[in-house]
Amino acid sequence: MRNIKTEKLKLGGLFHPTGNHVASWLHPDTQLDAGSNFRHYVELAHLAEKGKFDLMFLADAAAVRGGDLEALSRWPQYMAYFEPTTLLAALAAVTSHIGLVATATTSYNEPYNIARRYASLDHISGGRAGWNVVTSSNLDESKNFGHEEHLQHGDRYARAKEFASVVRGLWDSWEDDAFVRDREKQRYFEPAKLHVLGHKGTYFSVRGPLNISRPPQGHPVIAQAGSSEPGKELAAETADIVFTAQGDLEGAKNFYSDLKSRMSKFGRDPQSLKIMPGLNPIVGRTEGEAKEKHAYLQSLIHPSVGLELLSNAIGGVDLKGIDIDKPLPTDFLDRDTNTSKSTLEGVMKMAQRDNLTVRQLYERFAGARGQRTLVGTAEQIALDMRHWFESAAVDGFLIQPADLPNGLKDFVHEVVPALQHMGVFRTEYEGTTLRENLDLPRPANQFTAATTNAYRHDQD
C-alpha cells in the first residue's frame, strides 16, 4: 500500500475537441467548431488548471481519417483541428502552471525540427512542455510524406528509438549557463559550452547544434503511449510518462510492475517514470443520473460510425455486411496488424473477456476509445481512483471527459475536491515546471556529465 501522506496521484487531461466519446459532437452542450475554436481550448486549459491538473494533452495525426467517407462524415475527429504545438504555444500565454503536452510522430518528422519546436515551447511556457513520442499507426499518413507504403511496425520503433535519442542530444547542445550575454566583455556565449552532436546512425544523420538555448526543464517531459513489447522497451528507456489503456485492476498492476521492472537495465529509477492509464469518468449527482448521461451519449452512436471506428481499431478490416448482433468472428481478431498493436490487443481482450457482440463491442469502444469508463457519483469515482493508486496499479490517470466542456467541469468541480479530501491529490501546485509537479528529475546535460565522469575516472 502507498503512503498517501507523502505520495500524490498525478492527473492529466486528454482533450479531444468535443470530448472523448465518438458521438460527443452531437451533444447539444458541446462546441460544434471545437477543433478550430481557440477560446474553447482556453476554457479547457483554465478549467484543468483550476483543478490542479499536472498537464493537458493533445493528440494528433498527420492525415485526415481514411475509409468510408459516408461514415467519416458523421465522425469529425481529425478532420478539422489545430496543429497542437501551435495551439499549446498560444495557451502558454494564458496559463501559468499546467503542463502542455502534444503528440508529434517520429515516423514523418525530423529530429532537428522536433527538438527545436519543443525546446521553444518549453521556453515560451517557462518549463511546462512535453512531447508525446508516437510512431504513426494511421496508414494514410505515409501518402502525405512521399511514401506509398507505411513503415513496418518494428522499423517504426527502431526509428523512434534513434529519433528520441537524437532529440535529447540536441536539447543538450548548450550547457545551462552557456549564454552569458555580457555587454561589457562583448561576449554573448561561452564557446566551450557549445556541443556539436555529430550523430550518424541507421536512420538519421544530424550534426547539430540546436539554435536555441537549453530548455528550462533540461529536456521537455517525454510521454509515450505504446503498450506493445517494443513500446514498453522504448518507454522503459526514454519515457517520463506512459499513457496506456488498462481495463481491469489486475491487468493494470501487471503492466505497472512489468514496465517499472524493465527500467533498471537502462540505469533508471522506477520513480522517474509515471504510468497514467486513460480514464473516462461520467459524473452524476446520483449514480442514476450518471447512467442516464452515459446512456444518452451511447444512443447517439450511428452504427456506421461504430463499425468504422472498430475497423480502424483492428487494422482497417472491412466490416460492411457483418451481423452486428453476433460476436466478431475470431479470425478478425486473431491477426497481425501494421497499425497499433496495443489497440488491437485491447479490442481482442475486451471482445473475448466479455463475449461481446459487434454492436456491444463498438459501443464499448466508441464510448471511451478503448479506455476504462467509470459511471457514478464523484465519491464513487474518487474511491475507485484511490483504490487503483494505493494498489500500485497507477501513478495517476489521464482523464478523458466524454463531452466537453461539461464533462471536465463535472470532474473538476466534483471529483477533484473528493480526491483532495481523501488526501491523495494536491491542493496547490508544488512547482513551476511540469517536471517539478510530476516529481521528475531534471536531466543532466550529457556532454557535461560525460566530462565530469571522465574527470572522476582520471582521479581514481
**DSSP letter assigned to residue 354:** H
> Residue 450: its pLDDT value, please?
59
Which tens digit of pLDDT belongs to each residue from 13-51? 999 999 999 999 999 999 999 999 999 999 999 999 999
Q: What is the pLDDT of residue 362?
A: 83
How many Cα neighbours within 13 Å face the side chain of 201?
17
6 pLDDT band, cuts 50/70/90, is confident
**The pTM is what?**
0.89
Q: Which of these, 280, 243, 246, 252, lies nearest to 368 by C-alpha position?
A: 280
**How far is 228 from 275, CA to CA, in rounded Å?**
15
pLDDT of 272: 96
Asked whether the beta carbons of 425 and 437 are under 8 A apart, the reply is no
Residue among 82, 178, 112, 135 at smallest CA distance from 339:
135
Question: Is the CB of residue 119 less than 8 Å from the CB of residue 218?
Answer: no
Within-domain flag for 314? no
Q: Is the predicted pLDDT of residue 316 greater than 80, yes or no?
A: no
Chain CA centroid to CA 27, Å: 25
Contact 277, 371 (CB under 8 A): yes
CB environment 409-425: b (16+ within 10 A), e (fewer): bbbbebbbebbbebebb
The CATH number assigned to the domain holding 399 equals 3.20.20.30
User: With bands split at pLDDT 50, 70 and 90, how would you rate the model's confidence at 267?
Assistant: very high
Structural domain count, the chain: 1
Q: Is the pLDDT score of 261 beyond 80?
A: yes
pLDDT-derived band of residue 71, with 50, 70 and 90 as boundaries?
Answer: confident
Cis peptide before 405 (omega within 30 of 0): yes
Residue 187, beta-bridge partner list: 182
Position 23 in a domain = yes
Task: Cell numbers for 170, please give them.
Answer: 540536441
Buried b (16+ CB within 10 A) or exposed e, 260-286: bebbeeeebebeebbbbbbbbbbbbee
Position 458 scores a pLDDT of: 43
Is a pLDDT exceeding 50 seen at residue 388? yes
Neighbour-count burial of 288, counting CB atoms closer than 10 A to its CB (0-12 exposed, 13-18 middle, 19+ buried): exposed
Residue by residue, DSSP assigns 212-228 as SPPPTTSS-EEEE---S
Q: Would 303 be classed as within a structural domain?
A: no
Tell me, yes or no, whether 164 lies in a domain.
yes
> Residue 318: phi, psi to the nearest 5?
-75, 115
Summarize the chain as % helix, strand, coil (round to 5): 45, 15, 40
Closest to 138 (Cα-Cα) out of 12, 14, 306, 312? 312
**More reliable by pLDDT, 358 or 101:** 101
Assess if residue 344 is contained within a domain.
no
For residue 106, being part of any structural domain is answered with: yes
Calpha distance 409→415 (Å, rounded) = 10
Q: 142 falls in which pLDDT band (50, 70, 90)?
A: confident
**Considering the chain, what is the average pLDDT of its residues?**
89
Q: Please check whether residue 310 lies inside any domain of the structure.
A: no
Q: Which three cell numbers stand for residue 450?
A: 560525460
Strand pairing class (129-134; 199-200): unpaired
Residues 271, 409 contacting (CB under 8 angstroms): no
**Which domain covers residue 240, as residue numbers?**
10-287+370-459
Residue 324 located in a structural domain: no
User: In angstroms, rounded to a whole number, what is the distance separating the alpha carbons of residues 460 and 101?
Assistant: 43
**Mean pLDDT calculated for residue range 339-366:** 72
pLDDT for res 456: 41
Residue 10, beta-bridge partner list = 396
Residue 228 — pLDDT band, cuts 50, 70, 90?
confident
Among 91-105, 130-144, 171-185, 220-234, the minimum mean pLDDT is found in 130-144
Strand partners, 182: 187
Higher pLDDT, 56 or 332: 56
Q: Where are the alpha helices (DSSP H) in 185-325?
A: 229-238, 249-261, 287-299, 303-313
Residue whose grid cell is 484543468: 48
Question: C-alpha angle 64/69/75, rounded to 5°?
Answer: 65
Strand partners, 403: none
